[in-house]
Amino acid sequence: MDQYGTDTEADEQERLLLHREAEDKVQRAPACCSARYGLAFLSSYGFFVAYALRVNLSVAMVDMVNSTHDTSGNHSSSVCSGHSSPVRPKHNHTASVYNWDSETQGWILGSFFYGYILTQVPGGYLASRFGAKWLMGLGILGTVIFTLLTPIAADLGAGYLIAVRVLEGIGEGVTFPAMYAMWAAWAPPMERSRLLTISYTGAQLGTVIALPLSGEICFYLDWTYIFYVFGAVGLLWFVLWALLVFNSPNTHPRISERERLYITTSLKNELSSSGGHIPWGSIVTSRPLWAIVIAHFSYNWTFYTLLTLLPTYMSDILGFSIQQNGMLSALPYIGCGLLAVMGGQVADYLRESCMYPTVAVRKAFSIAGMIGPAVFLVAAGYTGCNYILAVTFLTVSSSLGGLSASGFNINHLDIAPSYAGILLGITNTFATIPGMVGPVIASALTKQKTIEEWQTVFYIAAGINLFGATFYTLFGKGTVQPWAVSSSYSHGD
């Protein structure tokens, strides 16, 4: 292997055999009632909260703005004819509405990511140095607190709301890097795809549940209750996280000795022996890392465009009411979550039982999870007012994206498990840029609210996805890089 981590199938086969030999020495601990799967499900709940707090404003925005506020629950200004729905209760709707134009709405929806980008790399570094438990917990707790303050901020003005959303982003920015650092100590190599897809499927579930529930809350109460309800759910998660989670198997007071030995033995050949030294030079010049960066950026362009603007598309183009909007906007993420979990099972089976090289599995899942969504996203732009076909194509597009969870998304742990949190912080920094500029660009391109304008938005997202899949296929790697395990450094690090 050279300094860029050039690996061969022989290297990969040898590494897989080493893992099996290590696991043979200590019997594999059962998954049922285990500490590592308990961590997976509780972290999944944490990402559920994080994404629910992230996306609820997308639905609330439809009801917060005068141009879309309509007591009948229908939208006569949409391109397609409106859909009948029950008459909204009038006595409960006392929340304020605002005269924000399309550009202002785009800045509000994108402002979260201006804070989110600031704490990616610091989050990975702090988690690797001081432990991930409290960094993850306090990050989401901060987001919860500012979510509860959202209605007050909106009443004070768009600028205050943007500031609150930036602060929410700062809190949430540490979550993924912290959790990757946590999994570096908790996830046996042959269970990574399973554990991480369970963990991060919480993000899809947060979207799936928050979008329709936010629509129902808007319909029967008013938009302010969206932030109160999800804020309370987040407070409950923090209590459970603080009581039940620990930074490593060795510090967990209730883990079985069999499971502790199984995890630590399976990881002993993959973790760095360099103490607190971080090889920054090798990290930032690593081609496999930059392959993940490009793939992550590209995938997130499509993901964040839909995440923040799909409710607007459902309202302005397809004419769905606030109640129908949330439910239909959630459909794409149901499929995404299901395929993510299924893909994790298949990916680990291919690696462990079929002996496929990790790099081949990661690239195959990345291609399917990026090119597939691009094709169906473009197709959705040509469905016109065929509501069933439009929703179907958008659902298939996002569902296929779930496969990338077993592709480039886990690759950080393959190439440098000791520094996975830092690597995730770097890649997520670049991958946050689409969340910052995507909604603003899409809002600027759809001022007239026409189908042709949305076709342009979909084409841009699809083209970026295609580029990212190609780049990752050419330069992605699947083995631990030399700089990630060496105890001495010869490159001036």
* Number of C-beta neighbours around residue 280 at 10 A: 13
Q: Break the chain into its structural domains and give their ranges.
A: 9-484
Identify the CATH assignment for 9-484 out of 1.20.1250.20, 3.30.910.10, 1.10.486.10, 3.40.50.720. Answer: 1.20.1250.20
Task: Count how many residues are written for the chain.
Answer: 493
The label of the residue with tokens 């579930």 reads 205
- From residue 477, how far is each of 174, 445, 493 by CA, in Å? 25, 37, 22
Average pLDDT across the chain, whole number? 83
For residue range 44-77, what is the model confidence (pLDDT) as tens digits? 999 999 999 988 888 888 888 875 444 434 444 6
pLDDT at 329: 72
pLDDT band, very low/low/confident/very high, at 4 (cuts 50, 70, 90): very low
d(CA 330, CA 376): 17
Provide the CB-side half-sphere exposure for 27 (13 A, CA). 5
Q: What pLDDT is stored for residue 490 in this prediction?
A: 36
pLDDT of residue 139: 95
Whole-number pLDDT of residue 179: 93
Q: In this structure, are residues 200 and 405 in contact, taking their beta carbons and an 8 Å threshold?
A: yes
End-to-end CA distance of the chain: 19
d(C-alpha 63, C-alpha 49), whole Å: 22
| Residues 389, 156 contacting (CB under 8 angstroms) | no
The amino acid at 61: M
45 and 215 Cβ atoms separated by less than 8 Å: no
- Encoded tokens for 476: 């992605």
- 219 vs 404, higher pLDDT: 404
449 band by pLDDT with thresholds 50, 70 and 90 = confident
Q: Is the pLDDT of residue 167 over 90?
A: yes
- Distances in whole angstroms, Cα of residue 334 to Cα of each of 66, 210, 348, 400: 31, 12, 22, 11
Instruction: For the chain, give the percent of residues with pLDDT over 90.
Output: 37
Give mean pLDDT, residues 133-155.
95
Indicate if the pLDDT at residue 21 is higher than 60.
Answer: no
Q: Using the Cα atoms of residue 270, residue 276, residue 280 and residue 282 in order, give the sign of their dihedral.
A: negative
Around Cβ 81, how many Cβ atoms within 10 Å? 11
Q: How confident is the model at residue 81 (pLDDT cuts 50, 70, 90)?
A: low
Tens digit of pLDDT for each residue in 304-354?
777 767 777 777 787 776 556 667 777 787 888 889 889 988 998 898 888
- Separation between Cα atoms, residue 491 and residue 201, nearest integer Å: 38
- How confident is the model over 360-386, as a mean pLDDT? 91
CB–CB of 288/476 below 8 Å? Answer: yes
Of residues 440 and 90, which shows the higher confidence score?
440
pLDDT tens digits for 211-270? 888 888 888 888 899 999 999 999 999 999 999 999 999 999 999 999 999 998 888 766
Instruction: Give the pLDDT score at 305.
Output: 78
> Computed over its alpha carbons, how large is the radius of gyration of the chain?
22
Tens digits of residue pLDDT in 479-488:
888 888 754 3
pLDDT-derived band at 85, boundaries 50, 70, 90: low
**Is 80 exceeded by the pLDDT of residue 439?**
no
Q: What are phi and psi of 148, to 5 degrees?
A: -65, -25
Residue-level pLDDT at 109 = 83
